[in-house]
């Protein structure tokens, strides 16, 4: 039924539940799996009191280094989790996009049958203030989405 599964993760404990669930499903179906992590674009909050922008302080470069380190940790961990289950996964990193947009675009452009991701299940003001990537993916995607809580 699902021959190509895209699992989205940010490396958090909750996202790891989604990863494990997606890997278990993939193993039972014999599906190909790609694990995706995304880093958001640098969003400066303006200039400081001296008038220098973030580029003057090397903040963008530091952000990019931190995202590269985070990507390696997240995707290496996903590969180890998959290997422990006897699975080999493809890993993918998208930089400089909002997660929901990158997940939907990747799933649709690369022909995935299913997206698996975790959600905190926030409601009301919590979802408004903190946002919900899972909700955005579920409402924007033309690919079926399995949300793990």
The predicted model gives 11-19 an average pLDDT of 94
Contact 31, 88 (CB under 8 A): no
Helix (H) or strand (E) holding 76: helix 59-84
What per-residue confidence (pLDDT) applies to 130?
42
Annotated domain spans of the chain: 4-41+73-148
pLDDT digits (tens, 9 = 90+) for 57-91: 677 788 889 999 999 999 999 999 999 999 999 99
> So what CATH class is 4-41+73-148?
alpha beta
Q: Write down the pTM of the prediction.
A: 0.87
Q: What is the mean pLDDT of the chain?
A: 88
Which residue shows structure tokens 């989205």?
8
The sign of the CA dihedral 60, 64, 65, 67 is positive
What per-residue confidence (pLDDT) applies to 136?
92
The predicted model gives 11-35 an average pLDDT of 96
Structure-model confidence comparison of residues 131 and 22, the more confident one: 22
The percent of residues above 70 in pLDDT, for the chain, comes to 83
Structure-model confidence comparison of residues 46 and 149, the more confident one: 149
């Amino acid at each position: 039924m699902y021959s190509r599964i895209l699992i989205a993760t940010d490396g958090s404990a909750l996202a790891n539940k989604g990863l494990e669930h997606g890997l278990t499903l993939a193993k039972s179906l014999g599906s190909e799996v790609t694990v995706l992590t995304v880093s958001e674009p640098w969003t400066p909050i303006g200039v400081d009191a001296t008038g220098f922008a973030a580029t003057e302080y090397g903040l963008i470069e530091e952000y990019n280094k931190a995202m590269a380190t985070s990507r390696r940790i997240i995707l290496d961990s996903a590969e180890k989790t998959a290997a422990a289950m006897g699975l080999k996964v493809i890993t993918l990193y998208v930089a400089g996009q909002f997660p929901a947009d990158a997940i939907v675009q990747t799933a649709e452009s690369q022909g995935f049958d299913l997206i698996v991701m975790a959600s905190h299940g926030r409601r009301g003001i919590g979802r408004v203030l903190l946002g919900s990537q899972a909700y955005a993916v579920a409402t924007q995607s033309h690919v079926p989405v399995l949300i793990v809580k």
